[in-house]
């Protein structure tokens, strides 16, 4: 069956509308929730059940769905995401009093394999951001984008969603709309200010319409797309002769790691990154033992000689 918005289960349509209107989730997040719950609906249909009769759904139905996903060798992170989608859906049904008992209660996420994202050292970052480029409008835009992501720790979506009035070079701040439409105010580094100003002076070269408010523009004068932004970072890495696959996530991770290595506290980094839970921030950090020992020797009263 081909799923369209019109033939989605009614409860799923209501849930997605709730996430969109009340929670302010992005289109990408809404699509992910829809995919996960459609997969579960397909599984339920084979048992002659549906999301529109949620009181008939049992814990065994969810466990059987998980077993099916395990048999398909799905990544543990994908399993956890699908469970998260189901949890959100059943919480919504409880809140709307469409069910009395939560069938997903006490079903835990699979234990995740810990992956430490790659981090560039300071010399590599400087090589990337200080590479001499011809001052064309595209090059000025590209280096401004990379400098901003590393300098302020933005997600790629946050950087691309910026409008002209979100960046105040005079006050040296950028207003970022994060996940769940949560706004946060971030400082701009002096280097970022220089790069952003240089790009702004050439922004009109992209021929935007008078109504276009996007800060970062693509070749057609519209908001820069994520795919092209990823290609930009790869090109910068190539020009800097860095033999690595550079992504916005890498630069964001470097931002967090380098701050912590310089002595910033975890809570501050959490706020800068816009993480709801500090455990998420901890996954971004992997201080080397030498740094930890130096901080310990400096700060702990019983460690001082």
- The domains of the chain, with CATH numbers, are 10-95 (1.10.150), 122-296 (1.10.443.10)
- Compute how many other C-beta atoms are within 10 angstroms of the C-beta atom of residue 182: 11
DSSP state of 113: P
Which of 87, 223, 249, 258 is an active site residue? 249
pLDDT (mean) for 124-137:
93
For the record, the structure tokens of 138 come out as 């595209």
* 150 is an active site residue: no
* 227 is an active site residue: no
* 223 is an active site residue: no
Which of 179, 223, 235, 283 is an active site residue? 179
Using DSSP's 3-state secondary structure scheme, residue 172 falls into coil
Provide the pLDDT for residue 182: 80
For the record, the structure tokens of 232 come out as 């930009």
Which tens digit of pLDDT belongs to each residue from 3-12? 556 678 999 9
* 252 is an active site residue: yes
Q: Which residues pair with 184 in a beta bridge?
A: 176
The CA-atom distances, in angstroms, between 12 and each of 31, 39, 49, 244, 266 are 12, 12, 14, 41, 38
Which of 155, 166, 184, 223 is an active site residue? 155
For the record, the structure tokens of 303 come out as 């460690």
pLDDT (mean) for 178-190:
86
Q: What Rg do the C-alpha atoms of the chain give, in angstroms?
A: 23
Could you give phi then psi for residue 297, rounded to 5 degrees? Answer: -65, -35
Mean of per-residue pLDDT scores for the chain: 87
pLDDT category of residue 115 using cuts at 50, 70 and 90: low
Q: Does residue 235 have a pLDDT over 90?
A: yes
Provide the pLDDT for residue 289: 47
Q: From start to end of 6-102, where are the E strands?
A: none
Q: Give CA–CA dist 126/122, Å, rounded.
A: 6
Using DSSP's 3-state secondary structure scheme, residue 37 falls into helix
DSSP state of 23: S
Q: Does residue 305 have a pLDDT over 60?
A: no
Which tens digit of pLDDT belongs to each residue from 60-71? 999 999 999 888
Which of 138, 141, 203, 275 is an active site residue? 275
* 155 is an active site residue: yes
Q: Does residue 287 have a pLDDT over 70?
A: no
Q: Give CA–CA dist 35/45, Å, rounded.
A: 15
Question: In this structure, are strands 173-177 and 167-168 parallel, antiparallel, or unpaired?
Answer: antiparallel
Q: Which residues pair with 176 in a beta bridge?
A: 184
Mind spelling out the 3-state secondary structure of 215-272? CCECCCCCECCHHHHHHHHHHHHHHCCCCCCCCHHHHHHHHHHHHHHCCCCHHHHHHH
pLDDT (mean) for 67-84:
87
């Amino acid at each position: 069956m081909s799923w369209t918005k019109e033939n989605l289960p009614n409860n799923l349509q209501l849930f997605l509308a709730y996430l969109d209107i009340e929670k302010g989730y992005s289109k990408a997040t809404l699509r992910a929730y829809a995919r996960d719950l459609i997969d579960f609906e397909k599984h339920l249909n084979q048992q002659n059940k549906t999301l529109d009769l949620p009181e008939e759904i049992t814990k065994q139905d969810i466990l059987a769905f998980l077993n099916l996903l395990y048999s398909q060798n799905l990544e543990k992170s994908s399993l956890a995401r699908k469970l998260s989608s189901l949890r959100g859906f059943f919480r919504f049904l409880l809140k709307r009093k469409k069910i009395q008992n939560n069938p997903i209660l006490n079903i835990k996420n699979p234990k995740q394999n810990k992956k430490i994202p790659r981090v560039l050292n300071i010399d590599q970052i400087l090589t990337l951001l200080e590479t001499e480029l011809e001052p064309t409008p595209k090059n000025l835009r590209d280096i401004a984008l990379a400098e901003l992501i590393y300098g302020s720790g933005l997600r790629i979506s946050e950087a691309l969603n910026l409008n002209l009035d979100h960046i105040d070079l005079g006050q040296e701040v950028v207003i970022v709309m994060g996940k769940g439409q949560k706004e946060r105010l971030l400082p701009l580094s002096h280097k970022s200010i220089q790069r952003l100003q240089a790009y702004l002076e050439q922004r009109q070269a992209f021929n935007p319409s008078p109504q276009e408010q996007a800060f970062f523009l693509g070749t057609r004068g519209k908001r820069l797309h994520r795919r092209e932004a990823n290609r930009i970072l790869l090109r910068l890495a190539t020009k800097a002769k860095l033999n690595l696959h550079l992504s916005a996530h890498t630069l964001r991770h470097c931002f967090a790691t380098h701050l912590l290595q310089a002595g910033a506290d975890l809570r501050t980094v959490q706020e800068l990154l816009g993480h709801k839970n500090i455990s998420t921030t901890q996954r971004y950090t992997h201080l080397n033992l030498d740094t930890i020992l130096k901080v310990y020797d400096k700060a702990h009263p019983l460690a001082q000689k």
